[in-house]
Amino acid sequence: MLAAFSRFSVLVLSCLLALSGCQHAEPPVQPDPRLIERFDALRSTYWLDYWASHPIEATASGYLIYADRLPARRRADLEREIEQVRHELAALERFRGDALTDPARQNEWHRLIRHARERLLLLERVGQWQRDPRLYLAASAFEQLTEETLAARERRAQWMLARLQQLPYLLAAGQDNLNRAPQRFTLSAMRQASALSERLATLVESLIPAAPELSDGLQSALLAAQTALLEYRRHLETVVLPESLASAAIGPARYEDFLQEVHGLDLSLDQWLEQLDEQWEAAADAGSLLAEDRNHLALTRLDALLHSQRMSADQARHFLIDQLGMAHAETAAVVDALLTHPARVLAGDAPWPSPQTRLAAEPPIQAPPS
């Protein structure tokens, strides 16, 4: 009886405590409608300005108001975009985003800040508009107009005409802006320029039947675009390539900026790479244990496990060669960079050789051990 009474007393006391807690519980925080309205305005302004400066991305996202445009990349346009992003980033950083009660809006606030910081890094400190000649080809701007679901074929023919007419100006901006571009980027852009010239002819031919009244205009714009592409390729070969940089690395300082300002990593590059090394060693140890434990996989040593990985890499290289028609050395460099520490390659970390150097130093792939 006493035990039953004690259990009953505990139950009553628990209920009283729960009721007391309910009576003194903090009311849910109500969202501030003015704060939400302010954030929504900041978000809309940022994306509308971004789409206006990046019409290819806008079209890919369904904002077809910019489907007849190519990006403007003259120095004056770039300077205007830099000032615009600076202003919008400052407004986003001043905004009290942590006071937003909606987790989705909070996350988007953080994402907008990271996006704006990355744009400024690429525009100001990395200078992507000076080092990547592929940006001025805008090949995807024409390729995306082949999507049947985008709009009627006649409408897409109109957009194709408008973009073809703008391509010579974009290529001319590239010739003015490029300065000591990496050799790999330059060679790739030269190949892409030749391929794009042929591809544009095919695209125009496919669209003319849907808009015969635009035939003369499309043919004329195509000829002007092909002439501009030929001149651009010649400029890359004779002016840019002789002064191209051997490495495409942006350097440790700029890569550290990406880690800290864009990705919010509160570590120096050296600290982060040290952690990567530790994780690599731990993975290697785990791989050795796995290989020893799984005899049926015929991977009894770590060397065999790594050899299997190299065989997979070789298969990936050959796939790229077959499918994309790329040179073996280039595809090897790309695949090797993806299979090793990308951070060290991009940061240009001195202790790690470049993918090309690693390829030259490694013995050729042999048959797996029996």
Query: How does residue 196 score in pLDDT terms, banded at 50, 70 and 90?
Result: very high
Give the end of a domain, one of 71, 104, 126: 126
Do 215 and 280 lie in one domain? The reply is no
pLDDT at 344 over 70: no
**CB atoms inside a 10 Å sphere around CB 37:** 10
83-140 pLDDT, tens digit per residue, is: 999 999 999 999 988 888 888 888 999 999 999 998 998 898 888 899 999 999 999 9
49-92 pLDDT, tens digit per residue, is: 999 999 999 999 988 999 999 999 999 999 999 999 999 999 99
Do 117 and 142 lie in one domain? The reply is no
What is the rounded distance in angstroms from the CA atom of residue 137 to the CA atom of residue 187? 13
Do 97 and 42 lie in one domain? The reply is yes
Do 141 and 243 lie in one domain? The reply is yes
What is the rounded distance in angstroms from the CA atom of residue 135 to the CA atom of residue 137? 6
Do 140 and 120 lie in one domain? The reply is no
- Would you say residue 260 lies in a domain? no
Q: With pLDDT > 90 as the criterion, what percentage of the chain qualifies? A: 46
Tell me if 71 sits within 8 A of 56, measured CB to CB.
Answer: yes
pLDDT at 12 over 90: no
pLDDT at 267 over 90: no
148-187 pLDDT, tens digit per residue, is: 888 999 999 999 999 999 999 999 999 999 998 999 999 9
Q: Which residues pair with 182 in a beta bridge?
A: 245
What's the domain range around 311? 271-361
Tokens of 231: 């001149």
Tell me if 66 sits within 8 A of 55, measured CB to CB.
Answer: yes
Helix (H, G, I), strand (E, B) or coil at 149: coil
- Would you say residue 254 lies in a domain? no
**Mean predicted lDDT score pLDDT of the chain:** 76
- Would you say residue 219 lies in a domain? yes
Do 146 and 243 lie in one domain? The reply is yes
Do 141 and 181 lie in one domain? The reply is yes
Segment 196-208 mean pLDDT:
95
- Would you say residue 262 lies in a domain? no
18-43 pLDDT, tens digit per residue, is: 444 444 555 555 667 888 899 899 99
Give the end of a domain, one of 248, 263, 295: 248
314-330 pLDDT, tens digit per residue, is: 555 555 445 444 444 44
- Would you say residue 83 lies in a domain? yes
Do 144 and 59 lie in one domain? The reply is no
Query: How does residue 251 score in pLDDT terms, banded at 50, 70 and 90?
Result: low
pLDDT at 346 over 90: no
Count the domains in the chain. 3
214-245 pLDDT, tens digit per residue, is: 999 999 999 999 999 999 999 999 999 998 88
pTM above 0.85, yes or no: no
